[in-house]
Each structure stands twice: as C-alpha cells, then as structure tokens.
Amino acid sequence: MSPKLPRYTVPSLTPEEGAKVAEILQERLHALNDLHLTLKHVHWNVVGPHFIGVHEMLDPQVDAVRAMVDQIAERIATLGSVPVGTPGALVAARSWEDYKLGRAPAIEHLAALDDVYDSVITFHRKAADDTAGVDDVTNDLLIGHLHELEQFHWFVRAHLESASGAIPET
C-alpha cells in the first residue's frame, strides 16, 4: 500500500519521499509505543530477589522510550503526515506477538525483554538504514534512539550474563 501523500513536507524532500519516511516512522512509533507499555508492564509485575533493582531500572527506560515516541510523532507531523498513536492502530499494524509474561521472577522478565529489545533494535536499525541518504534529520533521530536502546539492552543483558560472559538462550 502506498502512503498517502502529504499536502506539504520538509524542504528538499518530495511529497513522495516525505510520505515514505513518515511511513517508516509510523512503524517505529507503533514499536516504541508497544515497548514503553511492555516496560511498564514488567515494572509492575516483576518479583523475586532481584525485584527492586529491575523495578527501579525500568522507569528511566520507560521515560526515555516515551520521549522517543514523542520525537517520532512530531517528526511525522513535521513531514506533513499524521502520526497515529491509538491502541487499535498499534494492534492492527503489529507484526509481533504480544508480551506473554505476567507476574514472574525478574530473570524471566529480563530474558523476555532481551528478545524484545533485540527485535526493536534490529528494526530500528533497518529504519535508520532506510532513511540514510533520503532524510538526514530522520536518520539522525533514529541513530540517536539506537544509542539509548542499545544501552538499555546492555542493562538487561548485564543482569542475565554469567561470570563467564554467557547469556542464556531463551
């Protein structure tokens, strides 16, 4: 499906390019909205001896991801398109499975979050690659997000890592 052409976009992009970049960003908007909700869900449902460390580690991640969501939505609007942030649109567009864990030990949640971050980062990097040379501002925005997302992924993996440096397979 080709994206709807905006009435305007940023200087140096054609309406077609602006619409394509906005379409790429809309996918990231859905993924990051899902991520911030998942992180908050884990924050509420983590239990066990590592509870407080994980519980307190997640709130700054939630806040940072919510800020990324706002930046992406505003960039979509700047490109002349309409950011869609409704739950129904997210669920309809989602190509990934919903987070499965409810109340569970910290290590189980962290192993699941390892997979979540791996997927979010992989597709965020693809979006950055797809915007490189087309829209440098969007590309720069996505690369900045990758810096934070990769750091948060490291925080999760550091909890899972053994003394030998191995991370258990999930």
169 assigned to some structural domain: no
Structural domains in the chain (count): 1
45 assigned to some structural domain: yes
User: Which positions ≥6 away from 46 have C-beta within 8 Å?
Assistant: 54, 55, 58, 104, 105, 106, 109
7 assigned to some structural domain: no
Report the pLDDT value the prediction gives residue 161, as an integer from 0 to 100.
82
Report the pLDDT value the prediction gives residue 95, as an integer from 0 to 100.
92
167 assigned to some structural domain: no
Gap between the Cα atoms of 33 and 69, Å rounded? 6
166 assigned to some structural domain: no
Are the C-beta atoms of 66 and 36 separated by less than 8 Å?
A: yes
Are the C-beta atoms of 148 and 34 separated by less than 8 Å?
A: no
83 assigned to some structural domain: yes
Report the pLDDT value the prediction gives residue 169, as an integer from 0 to 100.
67
Gap between the Cα atoms of 29 and 157, Å rounded? 24
105 assigned to some structural domain: yes
87 assigned to some structural domain: yes
Q: What is the CATH number of the domain that holds 34?
A: 1.20.1260.10
Report the pLDDT value the prediction gives residue 166, as an integer from 0 to 100.
62
pLDDT along the chain (170 residues), means of 10: 73 93 98 97 96 95 98 97 95 94 96 97 98 97 98 95 64
| Domain that residue 94 falls in | 15-160
Report the pLDDT value the prediction gives residue 1, as an integer from 0 to 100.
45
